Structure 1
């Protein structure tokens, strides 16, 4: 078993734009503060760079309020990148904006192209043994089927799972901690989708802490969830808390803010 599902040489992130105030949200809990979002984002990028990775920081895209959430635009694997087809109509252009940046780093870039296919990176969890894809309001069966065909010759097994009702993305409720361990909410873990993995549950009332990222030797998690943080620390992980209050107003978390990969590894 390798550790290529959480050790990376590169990341791509994009600074938030002033239009972020018009970003999509399931429930309106307030308008994001751009200056605070920018500070949180800078802390996030600094933490990624601290691990030794090369971080490409892209300029804001004013035409796309949700473009800061770059993870939804692509799936990045060592063999190549696959451009997604976001399920939110207002976000379709974001994938096209990301494609040329990935082509500079990868020899092979493929694309989800079916007119009826929708899939977002936030619904995809890549582990050492498989690619889990959650069916959701943003990812449909046609998108999952096309992704499966695109990764088959790279040797990946893909498994479709169901995102809980009322949860935006599959990874809203889970994240990878290492090659065999997942952090997940109890409601998602109860579905049995992580049978065969070790699971650490988020603490009661701290379900929003489930979206973390393991990036090399650091686990980056949103600040403000002390019981879940303590569970991760007690399990032996090096944890870095990052402010996420403004991204959370737009249903965003740690994984949403970057693409993480090792091209050609």
Structure 2
């Protein structure tokens, strides 16, 4: 379970966020802000203390704090190297929040030409599954692997072919259960897990946040909700319509530790 989360309020510039996949139109800023505030309350309902960082107007995608950093409870944190140039300044902006929670010797950085984004990093106990994607290259995986090895943690690289990040297609739900969609249904990398297979048409809802016996999921996906409740999880729903328009999901909006 995690007890803390870091989020960043979306700026008005969020309407200019990157949209490489969704093609659902431009976000409504007022609605995005309301959804973000509700997201914070939803995290708090899971028993989480939430630190809210100020908006960064210069960086439209900066509300997606999961990408410029990876945090591992009690062990280490990594400042990543986002692939998109428009997001690179987010690295410096997130550092003070990381330094407030980790010692200097626990903080590492991914350096060019390596790229790595936190949306591609999925921790399952002492193993990281990392997506080899349009945003995370092999050099980024190699650098992260060297860091993780110092803490006796392993890395498994997983190709990402059809979605933005690994966690756009699969998230871990605890108790050896993996919520999977699209290209990750029956994927050999996850053969050791009980697969909770997302129904066709509800792929967006695969990106969920599990904390103990509770799970935060996007609102409006009854098939996934039934799947999660059937797996013994208590479901909390959050509206995500405006963040979906700029390729964002629930996990993208927070760093959890």
What interval of TM-score do these two structures reach, taking the shorter chain for normalisation? over 0.9
Q: Give the distance between the partners of 1:109 and 1:97, measured in 2 at CA.
A: 18
Give the equivalent residue in structure 2 for 1:103. Answer: 99
2:27–2:242 Cα contact (<8 Å) kept: yes
Aligned to 1:240, the other structure's residue is in SS state: strand
Note the 1:213-232 alignment, pairs <5 A.
213-232=209-228
Verify: 1:86 aligned to 2:79, yes or no.
no
- Counterpart contact for 1:129–1:157, Cα < 8 Å: yes
User: Is 2:242 the partner of 1:243?
Assistant: no
The structural deviation recorded for 1:113 is: 3.8
* Alpha-carbon separation, structure 2, partners of 1:228 and 1:217: 16
Q: C-alpha separation between the residues in 2 aligned to 1:73 and 1:232?
A: 29
CA distance in 2, matches of 1:142, 1:36: 38
Structure 2 partner of 1:51: 46
Match of 1:116, SS state, is: coil
Q: Identify unmatched segments of 5+ residues in structure 2.
A: none
Identify the residue that residue 25 of structure 1 maps to in structure 2: 19
Q: CA contact under 8 A between 1:218 and 1:239: conserved in structure 2?
A: yes
Q: Summarize the Cα distance change of 1:98–1:109 in structure 2 as closer, same or farther, 3 Å threshold.
A: farther
- Offset, 1:193: 1.5
Matched, 1:8 2:5: no
- The corresponding residue for 1:252 is 248
Q: Deviations over 1:41-69 (max 9, x none)?
A: 11111111123322110111000000000
Partner of 2:111: helix, strand, or coil?
coil
Question: What is the Cα deviation at residue 247 of structure 1?
Answer: 0.3
CA contact (8 A) 1:71 1:257 kept: yes
**1:111 shift after superposition:** 3.0
Matches of 1:260 and 1:126 in 2, distance apart?
11
Larger CA deviation: 57-66 vs 76-85: 76-85
Structure 1 SS opposite 2:77 = strand
Residues 70 and 259 in structure 1, CA contact (< 8 A), matched pair in contact too: yes
TM-score, length-scaled by structure 2: 0.95
Partner residue of 2:164?
168
**2:113 paired residue among 89, 113, 116:** 116
The question of whether the paired residues in 2 share the 8 Å contact of 1:85 and 1:118 is answered with yes
Name the count of aligned residue pairs: 254
- Secondary structure of the residue that 1:45 maps to in structure 2? helix
Q: 1:234 aligns with which of 211, 227, 230?
A: 230
Report the counterpart of residue 145 of structure 1 in structure 2: 142
* CA RMSD of superposed structures (Å): 1.2
